[in-house]
Chain A
Amino acid sequence: MASVTITVNGTPQTREIETRVLLVHFLRDTLGLTGTHVGCDTSQCGACTVTLDGMAVKSCSLFAVQADGRSVGTIEGVAKEGKLNAMQEGFWQEHGLQCGFCTPGMIMAACALIERNPKPTDHEVRVGLEGNMCRCTGYTNIVKAVQTAAAATAAGKR
């Protein structure tokens, strides 16, 4: 067992956990934040993507103890005061999802992507989201969603 303090969506969370608990299980089972999904549990699908100190990572690929003292962002922290953020709005408008299983991970990865590269080309969006799989959409509307969000974010900053 180990005691960890992980700041999740801005709030420090201190818990006693088994060292072998994966970050994704800490989020889902210990904190009850079930927005982060487990698709493959083998580092392939990206459904479990969260941010760790601002960087997109697959939360099934590290232990929660490794995030001790660090900041994690999940899909639950993206909307502010009940208002969808630009990426969520983009997915909504462009129909960037069907079943929605991949969507939390897609949105976390896409937010990190446009933060690094505010004006990506369609190709850069596809390459940037290579670690996220979607079984439904065929990706076209996901690319549109990210571009809509990128444009809205750029316009908002002007």
Chain B
Amino acid sequence: MYASEFEYYAPGTVAEAVALLGKYGDDAKVVSGSQSLVPMMKLRLSSLKHLVDLRKVPGLTGITESGGFVVVGGMTTHHAVSVSELVKKKLPMMAEAAGNIGDAQVRNLGTIGGSLAHADPSADWPAVLTALDATLVIASAGGERSVKIGDFILGPLTTVLQPAEILTQVRVPLPQGRYGGAYQKLPHPASRFAVVGVAAEMFLDAGGAVQSSRIAITGLGPKVSRASSVEQALQGKKPDAAALKAAAAKAADGIEIRDDLIGSAAYKANLAAVIAERVLARAVARATNR
């Protein structure tokens, strides 16, 4: 399969990159890991005329801790996140999710920023970063703006990113207190995308009851959803097996699920409850042991 013809640029700074994007508008796109964009170009689902490669822009990769945040560069690969000692220690669910995206070759090229910008409704990062309450830093010719993950994705393959903007950083606040997070998905047998994936970050109070939680589900709806009914059901409860099961049963509440080739809406709703129960149990165990 051959993409249609395009001009290729590999600028050396964010400023140059956004200038190119500004100049060519809707005819231009940035490329990071290529794992979603190049297939779309080959299928002619995208027929951009100007391709702006970010690979030579310094400072867009790497993972650091600063001012109470883990800061992940937008061009950081899934592989780099999965093996980061900092991530494994402080935010293990991020490493867990990153290490199960696609396969080794996809993880070696694919990036966290590319995944968020692509906004596939079955992608893993949106759920994980929603549970972790991440903030995204977006650069344009006018400077930088920050957008909460909850305000970033609008729908399938649609985000608030403007044509001349680049996602430069993912900032994850380091949770405080007795916290624990976990992520799990049922991978589609061919693509490894999530049929359903559940991410949970739980906070326990001194007595061991649930102080608060953030739970997010990918794969069910047109975009990642917060499982607010589960969060509410857990609030103030002792997180024993019965409480977790009862709360997890509400995982798909309020989410409009469609039947598709992968399974019926009823199947996916049940799957969400089953995965949610397991994820909650692991998050609680991590919080209890912290």
Contacts and interface: CB of A to CB of B under 8 A. Distances in A.
A68 B108 CA distance: 18
A139 to B, nearest CB: 14
A20 B103 contact: no
B42 A130 contact: no
A128 B107 CA distance: 11
Nearest to B2: A20
A19 B5 contact: yes
B35 A43 contact: yes
Contacts of A129: 104
A57 interface: yes
A66 B103 contact: no
Contact of A63 (B8, B106, B190): B8
B38 interface: yes
B190 A44 contact: yes
A49 B105 contact: yes
B250 to A, nearest CB: 33
Interface in B104-156: 104-106, 108-109
A2 B5 CA distance: 12
Of B6, B51, B109, most buried by chain A (CB within 10 Å of CB) is B109
B16 interface: no
Interface in B17-69: 31, 34-35, 38-39, 41-42, 51, 53, 55
B190 to A, nearest CB: 7
A131 B3 CA distance: 23
B34 A66 contact: yes
B7 A20 contact: no
Nearest to B106: A131
B105 A131 contact: yes
Contact of B38 (A18, A52, A63): A63
B1 interface: yes
A55 B1 CA distance: 24
Contacts, number: 78
A43 B105 CA distance: 9
B108 A57 contact: yes
A65 B190 CA distance: 29
B11 interface: no
Nearest to B6: A19
A11 interface: no
B279 to A, nearest CB: 20
A91 B31 CA distance: 36
Contacts of B2: 20
B5 A58 contact: no
Nearest to B83: A116
Contacts of A113: 104
A41 interface: yes
A56 interface: yes
Given A43-B39, A61-B38, A130-B192, A20 B104 contact: no
Contacts of A57: 105, 108-109
B162 interface: no
A113 B6 CA distance: 34
Interface in B175-195: 190-192
Nearest to B100: A127
Interface of A: 2, 18-20, 22, 41-44, 46, 49, 52, 55-58, 61-63, 65-66, 68, 109, 112-113, 128-132
Interface of B: 1-8, 10, 31, 34-35, 38-39, 41-42, 51, 53, 55, 79, 102-106, 108-109, 190-192
What 7 pairs across the A-B complex have the smallest Cβ distances?
A131-B103, A55-B108, A130-B103, A19-B8, A62-B34, A20-B3, A131-B105
Given A43-B106, A66-B53, A109-B104, 18 more contacts: A19-B5, A20-B2, A20-B3, A42-B1, A43-B39, A55-B79, A55-B108, A57-B108, A58-B105, A61-B34, A61-B109, A63-B38, A63-B51, A65-B8, A112-B104, A130-B192, A131-B104, A132-B103
